Structure 1
C-alpha cells in the first residue's frame, strides 16, 4: 500500500474505535503504535528502530521519559509524545518534548492524541523546539496534500533535509489555511470589514457591519460550493451530466430498507427527471467522499422517488439518497446494517453538515469484502 492507503486505513480504524478508548495507554496501543508501524513503516518491536519510554536526562530533570523515540541510521531522529484520544492537544502537553529536543539529535518532535498529529522542528532557534507546529495531520479528515511531506519521515523514504527545508513554508501555509477555515466557518468582524469595504463605498458603520455579516457568510459558502462544483464539472467532462451519471438508469431495486416517507410527503409519479438540485447534491456528496475514494468510483442513479449515490455502481453499497422530489428535502444516510435514516435539510449545501457520516459509510465499505450488485 502507498502512503495514502495506509493513512486512510488508520483513519478508518480511528473512526471505528476511538469512542471506546478511555486511557492514554489504550490510545498508544490502538492508534499511535499503528501510526509508527503501518504509516511510517518502523518496527515498533525492534529497539533499534523504535525506543519506547525513551530516557534522556535533562539538567535537574532526571528519569523523565518520552513515549517513543524513532531511530534512523542509528540516530534518534524523531521524538513522539502521546496523550489520550479525544483530549485536545495543548502546548503544555509538549513540555517534555521541549526539554528532550535540546538534549538529543532529534530534529522532529511529534505531539499526538492518536488522531491529530502535530509536527515540530527548530525553525525559530537552533536546537530549540518551535512553539508552533510546522505540520498538522488530522486523521478525522486526512489532507492528502500533506501526505508527500509525511512520506519523507517514513522508514523507506526518510529525508530529514527535505522535511526541514519545507517546514518553514508548511508552517505558515498550514496556519493560514486554519485561519481561512475559521473565517469561512464564522467570519470575524475584521474579516467582514476587510471584504465589505472592497465592495461598499460608504462609511463602514455598525449598521453596515450588521448588514454585511450574513452576506459575507453566504458569499463564502457559495464560493466554496462553486469551487467544488467547478472541480467536479471538470471531473465529469466539462460539466455535462446525464441521468444516472456513470451508470445506466435503473428502477428501485436497492436492498437497503426504505422507511415510509415522512408525514405530508407524497411521492412524485411520472418519468424520471434529474433536477439541477439533484445534480448539485450529487456533486457535494462526491466531493465529500473523494478524500477516501477516487471520484471515478462514485456513481449516481436517479429513480422516480429518490436520487441515489453509490460506491462502485453497486446498489449494495449506497452512500446517500437525495429525496428532493417533494416539498421538503431529505438526505438519506446509512448505518452499519445499511439501514437508511432520513434527515431533513433546508438547502442542498446542508449536506456538508453530514460529511462525517458520509465518509464513515464509504470507509465501512472499503473495509468490507466486495459484494456483487443486487439482481
Structure 2
C-alpha cells in the first residue's frame, strides 16, 4: 500500500493553524495534544508521539495513533530512537525498524509500526522529540521531514512561552506576597514604635527623677531605678519578640518525627515550676505525633500555653487543654483551648496579626506578638491556623502540622 502524503498547501495550512493554536495554549497537556494531532495531519502518518526529555529518560507524554503506542511510558535515552534523536540533535528517518540497531525491537513488536521519522524539539538543546509512524514501509519526502522539523521548532517556542508565562506568574505572586509582607511589616513597625514610646518614656522619666535629685533618699532612688529597669525589660522583650517573628522566615526548617504531646508536657512542667500555672489544670492528649521542626514547635506551643495561662489567671478553676481533632493523612489538626476571659472580635483570625491586642495592656500585659509567631510557624510548615473565642467563656486556637508518616 502506498502512503499518500498531504500536499504542500495542506501541510502549510496545518502548520499555520497549529502555530495559531499553540499561541493560545495554557498548559503542557494542551501543547502535547495539539502537536500530536498535527504530526499525523502534517505527515500522513498512522500514528504520532510527543516525547519529553526527563533527565536521562524519554517520557512518552502524548500520542495520536490508530492503536495505542507508549503513552505514559518512560525509557532510557540510550534505549530508544527518540533518545538517539535528542542526544545526537538530529532528525532520524528509518524505513524498516527491524533493520536498524537503534530501534528497541521488543518494544515495537506489539505495535503497528514499520517505519518512523523522529525530529528533536529544539535542535540546539533538545527538550523532547516528535515521532511519526507508518504501518507500511515508508520514507517521507524531504519536504515533509522539513515541515516536521518546523513543527518541532514551533513546539519548542510554545513550551518555552509556557515556562516563561509560568515564571512571570510566579514572580508576580511573589511580588504580591512581598508587598503584603512589606505592608504588614510597615504597619507592625509603626505599632512597635508607638508601643516602645511607653516604656521609653517611663525610663527617661524615672531616670530624670534620679538625676535631678528628686529622689531624696536611697529607698526612693532604688524604687525609681527599679521602675526604669522594668520599663527597659519590657522594651527589650518587645523588640526581641518582634525580631523573632521576622527571623522565622529566614531560618531553614529541620523536619523530623516529633512527639508533640511530650513537648507540651515539658512546657507545662516548666510553667508549674515557675508558679505561673499553679491554679490551672493542664490536660494534654497523649501520643500526638507530627513531622515538624522541634525548635519551632516548642516556640509555637510555648506561645499558645503562655497565652492560655495569662488569660486564665483570673479564673478560680483554670483549665487548659491540648487535643487532636484528627488527621487527613497529610496534616494533623490540633487545638489548644482554655476557659479564660476569651475575646470578642468581628474577625477572630485578626488576633494573628503582629501587635494585635484584644485586651488592654493594663488588663493583661504582653507584646501582642505571640500569636503572630504561632501563625508564621504554622504557615512555614504548610498548615493553617484559626481562632475562636467568647467573652467570659474562653478561647480556642486550632492549627495543623504535617502528620508523622
Common fold, TM-score beyond 0.5? no
TM range (shorter): under 0.3
Structure whose CA Rg is larger: 2
TM-score (norm 2): 0.24
Greater fraction of residues in helix: 2
TM-score (norm 1): 0.25
